[in-house]
Structure 1
Amino acid sequence: MVSSALHRSVIAALAASTCLAALPQVARAQSSEKPADEGIGQIVVTAQRRQQNVQDVPIAITAVSGDQLRESGVRDPRDLTLLVPSLSMQAGTAASTTSLFIRGVGIGDFNSNTTGAVGVYVDDVFLGANAGKLFNVFDSDGIEVLKGPQGTLYGRNTTAGAIRFSSRKPSDTLSGDVSALYGRFDEVRLEGGIGGPIAGDVLKARVSGLYHRNDGTTFNRVTGNRVNNIDLWAARAIVDFTPGPDTLVRLSVHGGRNSGGARQFQHRGQGIDFFGDPAFLPNGTPTDGLGYADTDGDPWAGDYDVEGKERIDVFGASLTGQFTFGGVQLTSITAYEQVNRATLEDTDASPNQVITAYYEDRPRQFSQELRLQSVGENALNWIVGGFYFHDTLKTDSSFDLLRALRDPSAPLGGFDPVNSLGLLRYPYTQKTDSYALFGQADYKLTDELTATLGLRYSHDRIGMKFASLFDALGTVVPRKAYSDVVVPLLDFDRRQSFNDLSWRAALNYKTGDTLLFASFSKGYNSGGFAGGASTDPLQLAPFRSEKLYAWEAGIKTDLLDRHLRFNASAFYYDYRDLQVFIFDLSGPVPVQRKLNAGNARIYGLEAEVTARPVRNLELFTAITVMDSEYKNFAALGGTNYSGNRLVNAPNFAGSAGIRLTVPLANGSEVRANVDGTYTSSIFLFPDNAPSNKVAGYGLLNGRLAWAAPNNRYEIALWGKNLTNKAYVTAIAPVITQDQINYNEPRTYGIQLSAHF
């Protein structure tokens, strides 16, 4: 149950919402231009596959404009947690792998074959590969975060929700945007886009690009170098062909490369040696099995014998056709995406050779979506569609285990697979074929009351061909350094199919500027196979599909002549067979396991308040209050996790801030933004162990800018995490130590922007 202290937090946050500010993302996202004294501008979204005012959309949704992404310093999808309190993340074992959660629904599995509970779309193309999701936040027209199960309108079904990125499209006249940013750690970010007509109204195009680098936010005391650096570029070209008013054919091609550093972690000793005996420094600090401990308390410094590197190459293309005829519109989206990723990682986060990892994966995906829908506002608005998704994922990853304990003068260099001394490789190929039919209809029972019914059938077929072996003489570098002296451990080849029927039923009542809605929906996330290192067929036994039954009711209203906007929703989730990621610590080496918990429940309340009390002043606050519990979860070895809180499910998360605009006599403006977020404590594993608990934390950001008349130029000073708050984003056990992932430290700098 929610504690009395939590109730007090809710009351205080709601009270503050009328007078406190916050991230103004909702009020300005994809907003029409309105003078400030006319109230809060209209927000146009396409969450339901047609353009609507967000206040008329009967679902919980947060929209973020492209300008707000820039002003809030959002660099990639992970930064969206700064803008959407109910969206959280758990960083994985490398900079490219991050698990997203919405309202506590998600899975903290960093392996390459994990689909995740949050669907990520770029221009309506679903992205399956984790690594390919880092290249989307540039030249952006906006982002929509949809909360709750999605499937009756979207290609890929998800239980937690969906994040929809929208790129800037070609314009009717020549226009462009460019920005240059410089910040702490010699950060440089150059971004630009230009577009317009090529052949009148028939052919238009836009090209855009991004370059982003820094020297690294963490100091390596072994080499004196900075690590955790960024070095990436991305580019996109969009061409629109419109031979007539009822036809649009859009070709989009994009690509990019990240060649920066892999994640360098913090080290935390478990206080045991390799024989299971206590291992502590004289001052009581726990060490690892080799007697090492990181004692300086600096989360952005460490002792690393390996400076990790990561290379990700991304390429994708999509062809979209929209054809309107006879009062209906046919949409076809054909897309191809590929990613090549290679990551060398200092897994043990220490100066010793305990574990070094090499991850290599090459996903290739093809998708085809067809939709037929009604056009305009009718008594009956409907959409039907079909979706096909094929993905082939090839990996060849490895762990160099306990090389520090191997005797190089012994036969085969001290190779000893019984005691996990050697190189463990686990190459596998996973093929996925997903088919779906979906549809949704909205029928106006009266002028104010509308009923919605949606249905979806999904079929997923997944094949896993997995091998694991010990390599006596190999090293953790690309495959050419592997040897032929191997001990086969596992040869696994299996296919499994999963089917589901999911739905959405809703009612909404609209009167004046107030919308009331209630819905009941079911979400589905396909079962599959674990993608971590495995040496036992039981570790690869398929896990079942998870299902989420969601009840939700909400209100959206504009008050005081649209100077105050209040949106709120209450939800209850019945979460069944939820997929969980844990570490099996029963052997000498921690083993990754993915399995089904029994049942869980989550309920909560969300509220967003935007206010424009006077001209040129905008205030916003948003809160999410949740209570979560595993109702029935018997884990490995009979351990009972029932009654524990879900992973990454804070009891409270909120954001607040202010935006002040001061007009000057010459038509220019001074703009000041201050915003902050607070997240209460969370657990990173289902066991809810104190060592895996992240204490509550708050972040403070700010921006001060001068804008020329008509917003043609802008110069801004910005700062993120101004209080230099450190908090843990992920923990993973590594034999006799834990690797700890922290957030980014305080950053600040200057940004120049121009629009023409």
Structure 2
Amino acid sequence: IDKRFYLNRVSLALAAAYVGASTAPASAEDSPRKLEVIEVTAQKHAQNVNEVGITVSAFNGEQLKDLGVKSSQDLAVHTPGLTVNETSATGVPLYTIRGVGFQDYSTASSSTVGLYFDEISMPYSVMSRGIVFDVQRVEVLKGPQGDLFGRNTTAGQINFISNKPTEDLEMGFDLGYNNFNESELEFYVSNSISDSVNGRFSLKTIQSDEGWQDSLTRDDKLGKKNQLAMRTMFDITLNDDATLLLNLHYVKDKSENTANTTYDGTIVGLAEYDQPYLGLADYVLPTGANFGEIPPWYSTGDATKADWTNSYTNPSTGETWDIRPQRDNELKGVSAKLDWQFGDVSFTSVTGYDHFEREEANDWDGSASVDSSNINVTDLDVFSQEFRISGETENLLWIAGVYYSKDEIDESYHYFMADSYFGLAAAAFSMPTAFVEFPITELDTTYNQQTESAAIFGHVEWQLTDAFRITSGLRYTEETRDWSGCTYDAGEGSLSNFLNGAFGASLAAGACGVVDDNPVSDTYIFNLLGTQNINDAFHLTDDQIKTNRWMGKIGADYAFNKDILGYATISHSFKSGGFNGANSNTTSQLVPYDEELLTSYELGIKATLLDGSMQLNASTFYYDYEDKQEADVDVTFVGNIAGLTNIPESEIIGAELDLNWFPTDNLTIRLGTAYLDTEIKEWEAVDVSASQWPNTVYRDASGGTLAQSPKWSHNILAKYEWEVGNSYIMDVALDYSFQDDTSGGVQPERATESFSTTNVRVGIGSILGTWRVTLWARNVTDEYYYQAAYRGGNGPYVRTAGLPRTYGVNFNYNYF
């Protein structure tokens, strides 16, 4: 079907929705209960979410608790168009909105989705894995914003807004327990400290000493949790015109990570495995003791079954490493927001600093073999400062400001691969490669990345008539990113021995092992072969990229009446380029990828119907996507490994519908659906089968779809509540979500199947809201599903399964 024809049809559907909305009967007798209006700050000032001419999915704190949202990843289940997945075992969540995402597992990769916590940007998604707690609301802004938000992004934003300090005493707690022996406690207290200072302290902890995953090959469980998050806020009145909000926050996470499940790739049209690894020898070699049997670590259909490696001892040095999937992450931060009123002009300063560090182990291959495991040691500092002024007259609202940010990442990515094809498996399988004589057992990739960004921006909302408003914004950004790094021999000599044997070098243990394969370089490997300077071809890479870009938006909205708003926007945004932080063999892998550009055209309507008891929002959009940043493969002297590139041209067409409705005083209905049609228009991707280093062959990859772009996604919630006597209120709720399958882009091993989950809960509490008990069950049908699939490092194909059926009880108490 022609996509522009589709866009026209959807536009007509929106017009029909307006006609139906404007003529729908409104009867106070039939639907007397009105929907709660959520106030958002999607455009840096307070607005009714139904009066903002952009597409926003908003959840208040109570809705998030009801839906069991404990992390930013949980939001995706209840937000059509938003997906959160992983494409590796490095502990980095990847966010995608409407097909706009970057499937890179490196810590140093900036997210296409802007992540903001109390107006402070978290530019690296690894920082977002903390607990969501004591939240006033969450806003998911869909599409490029183009003007008001600090770090350049293309997909949209997710804003987390915390509850603020109160003058009167408020306090409460929430206790929970589930069938995996997981307990949680959330607590808050808020009150005035003095005549000019209000304070709020909140915390949440989740503890489990058992876990939920069972090893397929031994008596071992995985999934213990030890999470703590705290926040202290002070709302200080400086004088009659100025206030200062201080926010001190801390997150500590010493939990175990999720293990992958290995499966036979032939069930999805792939080979059984990509490359052999040592654990397979007994099962696939005719001389193996278990030849012809199914490896016991293969599994599908049971989310609790997986496998992993607990420790590794280097055969040469005898050094033992703890590589059980686990993390020790810590985030410490402070922010300050100053609001000062000067007559008709408001001045706002937002300052933020966060320090994140972690030591985290993950298992890629889903087996007890050491085909692919890693330990990431990360130290990350992020500072940002925004100054803005704003004013408002009868017909005009304006905002202008400047933004500056600076961050630095130091990371060591220690990789274990002794049982892989590149290690001891080559000899076990009698493969004619240099790895038989010179197996590589460990690697150590270390790098430093420093990013500095500065921007100036302006935003204007002009009320031309009572019904018609024009919104426009413009932003100019300058960004510089410096990168220095190398993949080193890990100190045990295996990489150096391999390179010495393959190239005639004399590299010592611990040396940099990246080969210079740039033909115009003074240290080009093929110009130094056989010379006394051969070691010079292996060296650290230092590089810098600079980006200078304008981005902006223009929109118009028209209030057909007090309840119906139609809007149209054109917005343009970019995401700066970056560097590959994964293991590398050649300098060509470390050439930076370019910035990506996205131009969005969107039409939408927001209709408040049935005397305020129904809210119907619908939108349709077309994205012109240029130089999309994407994962591909790099051709190296050891084979094809992970690489990053740009897709020159692609496009996305889609539509969304969001419905909130009180059919009766007792019944709540919430419905959301999203449709996506993505297409790669132009891309010469690497032809893996035809390429051999140093020559790379390309193939036409146009016509394919983008990764993590389900054609359909839906969610529906139904909640019925009624009074019990004069003192209690009881409710029963059911929510259902569905996500369509995804193609995996040009890497079929990353494809996922469609899945759905159903959650139920029953609650009873005080009619005054002081206490509530809730019994709940999530994934009540115990559906096996996975939101991530990929090649598990070097050899196997793996999936990361979602949680099985989970049920529990919560008790909530509030004093106010």
TM-score (norm. length: structure 2): 0.83
Change (3 A) 1:275 1:447: closer
Change (3 A) 1:391 1:125: same
Where does residue 698 of structure 1 map in the other structure?
A: 756
Where does residue 681 of structure 1 map in the other structure?
A: 741
Change (3 A) 1:475 1:198: farther
Query: Is the contact between residue 95 and residue 262 of structure 1 (CA under 8 Å) also seen in structure 2?
Result: no
Where does residue 463 of structure 2 map in the other structure?
A: 444
- Cα distance in 2, alignment partners of residues 248 and 36 from structure 1: 41
Q: CA deviation at 1:347?
A: 2.3
1:235 aligns with 2:252: no
1:748 aligns with 2:797: no
Q: Deviations over 1:608-627 (max 9, x none)?
A: 11221211211121110111
Identity %: 26
- Cα distance in 1, alignment partners of residues 297 and 291 from structure 2: 10
Q: Work out which of the two has the higher radius of gyration on C-alpha atoms and give 1 or 2.
A: 2
- Cα distance in 1, alignment partners of residues 572 and 203 from structure 2: 39
Please say which of residues 664-673 and 110-119 is displaced more in the overlay.
Answer: 664-673
Where does residue 177 of structure 1 map in the other structure?
A: 172
1:524 aligns with 2:548: no
Match of residue 710, structure 1, among 768, 771, 774: 768
- Cα distance in 2, alignment partners of residues 274 and 715 from structure 1: 52
Q: CA deviation at 1:420?
A: 5.2
1:644 aligns with 2:663: no
Equivalent residue of 1:577, what SS? strand
Amino acid at match of 1:677: S
1:541 aligns with 2:541: no
Aligned residues: CA RMSD: 3.1
Where does residue 22 of structure 1 map in the other structure?
A: none
Equivalent residue of 2:128, what SS? helix
Q: CA deviation at 1:403?
A: 4.5
Q: CA deviation at 1:728?
A: 2.1
Please say which of residues 672-681 and 726-735 is displaced more in the overlay.
Answer: 726-735
Where does residue 722 of structure 2 map in the other structure?
A: 662
Amino acid at match of 1:681: D
Match of residue 247, structure 1, among 221, 242, 246: 242
Change (3 A) 1:537 1:587: closer
Q: Deviations over 1:120-158 (max 9, x none)?
A: 101000012323212251011110000010231111221
Please say which of residues 398-407 and 444-453 is displaced more in the overlay.
Answer: 398-407
Equivalent residue of 1:613, what SS? coil
Query: Is the contact between residue 42 and residue 139 of structure 2 (CA under 8 Å) also seen in structure 1?
Result: yes
Please say which of residues 733-742 and 295-304 is displaced more in the overlay.
Answer: 295-304
Where does residue 653 of structure 1 map in the other structure?
A: 713
Matches for 1:266-277 after TM superposition, within 5 Å: 266-268=261-263, 270-271=271-272
Q: CA deviation at 1:687?
A: 1.4
Equivalent residue of 1:655, what SS? strand
Q: CA deviation at 1:474?
A: 7.8
Change (3 A) 1:288 1:249: farther
Change (3 A) 1:94 1:736: closer
Where does residue 325 of structure 1 map in the other structure?
A: 342
Matches for 1:730-741 after TM superposition, within 5 Å: 730-733=788-791, 734-741=793-800
List alignment gaps of at least 5 residues for structure 1. 18-34, 408-413, 477-482
Equivalent residue of 1:339, what SS? strand
Equivalent residue of 1:79, what SS? helix
Matches for 1:288-367 after TM superposition, within 5 Å: 292=295, 294-297=297-300, 298-306=302-310, 307-367=324-384
Match of residue 611, structure 2, among 548, 561, 564: 561
- Cα distance in 1, alignment partners of residues 345 and 611 from structure 2: 36
Change (3 A) 1:631 1:420: farther
Change (3 A) 1:589 1:77: farther
Q: CA deviation at 1:488?
A: 2.3
- Cα distance in 2, alignment partners of residues 84 and 292 from structure 1: 38
Amino acid at match of 1:610: N
- Cα distance in 1, alignment partners of residues 570 and 183 from structure 2: 47
- Cα distance in 2, alignment partners of residues 736 and 289 from structure 1: 19
1:387 aligns with 2:403: yes
- Cα distance in 2, alignment partners of residues 436 and 573 from structure 1: 24
Where does residue 21 of structure 1 map in the other structure?
A: none
Where does residue 127 of structure 2 map in the other structure?
A: 132
Amino acid at match of 2:52: V
Q: Deviations over 1:169-208 (max 9, x none)?
A: 10120101210110021111111111110112x1010001
- Cα distance in 2, alignment partners of residues 110 and 578 from structure 1: 16
Query: Is the contact between residue 532 and residue 592 of structure 1 (CA under 8 Å) also seen in structure 2?
Result: yes
Where does residue 565 of structure 2 map in the other structure?
A: 515
Match of residue 49, structure 2, among 50, 54, 59: 54
Change (3 A) 1:182 1:390: same
Query: Is the contact between residue 145 and residue 552 of structure 2 (CA under 8 Å) also seen in structure 1?
Result: no
Equivalent residue of 1:105, what SS? coil
Where does residue 208 of structure 1 map in the other structure?
A: 202
Where does residue 626 of structure 2 map in the other structure?
A: 576
Query: Is the contact between residue 403 and residue 421 of structure 1 (CA under 8 Å) also seen in structure 2?
Result: no
Q: CA deviation at 1:94?
A: 4.2
Q: Deviations over 1:232-261 (max 9, x none)?
A: 101110011113342111111111111111
Where does residue 20 of structure 1 map in the other structure?
A: none
Where does residue 459 of structure 1 map in the other structure?
A: 478
- Cα distance in 1, alignment partners of residues 293 and 145 from structure 2: 49
- Cα distance in 1, alignment partners of residues 439 and 621 from structure 2: 47
Q: CA deviation at 1:514?
A: 0.7
Where does residue 689 of structure 2 map in the other structure?
A: none
Change (3 A) 1:180 1:590: farther
Query: Is the contact between residue 273 and residue 288 of structure 1 (CA under 8 Å) also seen in structure 2?
Result: no
Q: CA deviation at 1:739?
A: 2.9
- Cα distance in 2, alignment partners of residues 565 and 258 from structure 1: 39
Change (3 A) 1:114 1:703: same
Amino acid at match of 2:220: N
Q: CA deviation at 1:83?
A: 1.6
Query: Is the contact between residue 263 and residue 298 of structure 2 (CA under 8 Å) also seen in structure 1?
Result: no
Where does residue 517 of structure 2 map in the other structure?
A: none
Where does residue 26 of structure 2 map in the other structure?
A: none
Equivalent residue of 1:185, what SS? coil
Where does residue 27 of structure 1 map in the other structure?
A: none
Change (3 A) 1:530 1:290: farther
Change (3 A) 1:69 1:94: farther
Equivalent residue of 1:155, what SS? coil
Where does residue 33 of structure 2 map in the other structure?
A: 38
Query: Is the contact between residue 150 and residue 523 of structure 1 (CA under 8 Å) also seen in structure 2?
Result: yes
